[in-house]
Amino acid sequence: MKMEKIVGERFKERPADCVIDSHALMIRGGYMKYVANGIYSQYAPLKRICRKIEQIIREEMDAIDGQEVQFPVALPASLWEETGRYESVGNELLRFKDRNGSKMVLGMTHEEAAVHLVKEYGQTYAKYPFMIYQIQTKFRDEARPRAGLIRVREFTMKDAYSFHTSQEDLEEYYERCYKAYERIFARAGIPETIAVASDSGMMGGSLSHEFMLLTPVGEDSIAICPECGYRANVEMAESIIENEKDAVQEELKLVHTPDIHTIEDVCRFLGTPEDKSCKAVVYQKNATDEFVVIFIRGDLDVNETKVTNFLKEEIHPGEITEGCGLLAGYIGPYNLPDHITVLYDSSLKGAANLSCGGNKEEYHYTGLCMERDLPEAEYHDFAKIKEGGICPQCKKPAVKVSRGIEVGNIFQLGTKYSKSMEMKYLDKDGTEKYPIMGCYGIGVGRLAASVCEAHHDEYGPIWPMSIAPWQVHLCCVRPDNEEVKGYADKLYEELQSQGIEVLYDDRKVSAGVMFSDADLMGIPVRVIASPRNMKEGCCEIVSRDKSIQKKAGLDQVCSEVKLLVEEMMR
C-alpha cells in the first residue's frame, strides 16, 4: 500500500474532546472518524488491526474446539421475552418495531440467539460438550460513551457460548478458555493483562472473571492484595471493617446542627472523625420508585452493584421530595418512618458513639450505639472496598485499588438461559435435564484501543508486530532523487515478494512530515532510503520503539528486514 493512497488525514493537534491518549492518537493518525455519540467509522489502518485481532481470536477459539457461527444483529423481541430480559434490561437494549409492527431488538449480547440456534441439536447427552462463537457487530445504547473505542454504543465483539452436561465439565472448559484468553492478550501485545473476579451483572451465573489491563485511565476499579495475590473488581470485592470497641458508651443526644447537611460538615461541627459517623445514602427502585436508605459508616462509599444484587432490582439515586418522609441532610436510622426500606452496611456492626441524622430539621444525634439503640438491625456488605482495607482472602490490611480497562470477560452461566428457553437433553439414564452454559466475550475495537493505550509515546502508537496495520514502513526521503526512488521502488517490490506487508511512503513531502506521519502509523519496522544513505551504500532500519537502530548494505536490506519481522512475530 502506498501512503499517498490511504484514505484519511493525519494531523498534529490533539482534539479537545479526547480524554485519553489512545483516543487522541487514533483520531490524529487517521484510524477512525466520529459519526455519532459512541459510534465511529474505521479507516483502513484500524480495520487491518482489528482483522488481525479477529484472526488471533479465531485461531485460539478454534484450538479449544470452538465452531464459528453467525447470529443476526436484529432479533425478535420474543427471544428476549422468553428469558425475561426484554423487560429487565434497561435502556441499554435498543427496542424497536419493524414495518409489520413486530417488536424487535438490536443485539447487545446473544445468549438467547445461541440457545435458539442449538436447541434442537442438543437433545441428547451424546452431543455434548460443544462451543459456538461469533465475531459480530453489536449495539448497546450506552448512557455515557467515552474514551474513543473504550466505551462505545456500536462495537464488534467475539462472544462464545459453551454447553455442558455437568458443572465439572463446565469448570474444566472454563479453565481452557481462561488460558486461551491469556494467550490471546499476549499475542495481541498486552501480556500484562490480569484476570480478576467480577460481578456477573445482567448476564447471571455463579462465577465470572474480567481480564483487565491496568492503566490510570481505566474505568473500572480493581482491588489487589500484594500479600496473597487476591484480585477482584471492587463491585464484588467484600469490604471487611473491624470497629474498635469503645470503653464507654455515650448517651444518645439530639444536638442542634443549624444549616449543616453533609457528613463532612457534621463531623467538623461536632469535632469527630468521619469513621465515628453514620451516613445515609438514598436510592429508589426503578420499578416502583420505592425509597431505599442504606446506612453506612461515614468514611465509606456505597457499592451500588452490591445493593442491586441484594435487592434483585435495579436502583437509581433517590430524589427526596416534600412529603416522602425523608429530610435531606438529616436522615438517620433512629426513629425513621416505617414505610422506608432500610439496609445496614456491615461497617456499622458493633459501632458505638456515632453521630447521625436526627430525622428532624437542623438536628443530629450523637452517641448512637448500634447494638443498644438499633438491636433489630441486620447487617450486609454494601460498601466499596477501600485502599488499605482488609483483604477478603488473607485478612491483612494490604488492599491496593488500581484502575483498569476490561478487555474481556468469561462467565459460568449455569442453566439460567437453557431453563428459561426450555432447552433440554435426554441424559444416559433417560431423564430430561437442562444443559449448563458458559459465556466468553472479547471486544475487538476495545482491545485495539487498549493496546494503543498501553503502548504509545507522545508521537503515536507503537503497534506490536502481531496486529500492526503493516509490518514495515518504507520511507523514500527525496523521491525526486532518481537513485533513491529507483532503489526504494525496487525494495518495495522485493519486500512484498517475500510476503512482507509494506506501507510505502514516496510522497514529495519533507522528511519531518514523513517521519511524523510514520510515528502516527506506529508500524514496528521503519526502513529509510535517503540520498545520504545512498552515498554510504546502505539503508537505515529503525524500530518504532527506537530499541533497534542500525544500517544494512543495500543488497542486505531485504533479508535483514525479513529476519527482524520474523523475530518480532515470535
Residues 429, 168: Cα–Cα separation, whole Å = 18
Peptide bond into 392 cis (omega under 30): no
Tell me which residue has cell 537505515.
Answer: 540
CA atoms within 13 A on the CB side of 261: 4
**What does the DSSP assignment read for 77-125?**
HHHHHHHTHHHHS-TTS-EEE-TT--EEEE-S--HHHHHHHHTTTT-BG
Q: Which of 376, 366, 291 is closest to 325 using CA atoms?
A: 291
Q: Angle CA(143)–CA(148)–CA(151) in degrees, nearest 5?
A: 40
H helix intervals, 474-510: 482-497
Tell me which residue has cell 418495531.
Answer: 97
Residues 133, 450: Cα–Cα separation, whole Å = 22
Q: Which of 333, 293, 335 is closest to 317 using CA atoms?
A: 293
Tell me which residue has cell 445468549.
Answer: 111
Neighbouring CB atoms inside 10 A of 295's CB total 27
229's CB contacts (< 8 A; 6+ apart) are none
The model's pTM: 0.87
- Residue 29 one-letter amino acid: G
Residues 469, 471: Cα–Cα separation, whole Å = 7
Q: Which of 177, 180, 182, 176 is closest to 195 using CA atoms?
A: 182
pLDDT at position 204: 46
Residues 43, 157: Cα–Cα separation, whole Å = 18
Number of H helices and E strands in the chain, helices first, is: 15, 31
- Per-residue pLDDT tens digits of the chain, which is 570 residues long: 999 999 999 999 999 899 999 999 999 999 999 999 999 999 999 999 999 999 999 999 999 999 999 999 999 999 999 999 999 888 899 999 999 999 999 999 999 999 999 999 999 999 999 999 999 999 999 988 989 999 999 999 999 999 999 999 999 999 999 999 999 999 999 999 999 887 555 444 557 899 999 999 888 889 999 999 899 888 888 999 988 888 889 999 999 999 888 889 999 999 999 999 999 999 999 888 899 999 999 999 999 999 998 998 889 999 888 878 888 889 999 888 777 889 999 999 999 999 999 999 999 999 999 999 999 999 999 999 999 999 999 999 999 999 999 999 999 999 999 999 999 999 999 999 999 999 999 999 999 999 999 999 999 999 999 999 999 999 999 999 999 999 999 999 999 999 999 999 999 999 999 999 999 999 999 999 999 999 999 999 999 999 999 999 999 999 999 999 999 998
Q: Determine the 3-state secondary structure of 417 from DSSP.
A: helix
Residues 541, 448: Cα–Cα separation, whole Å = 26
**Helix orientation angle between 44-63 and 167-188, rounded to the nearest 10 degrees:** 140
Residues 528, 544: Cα–Cα separation, whole Å = 12
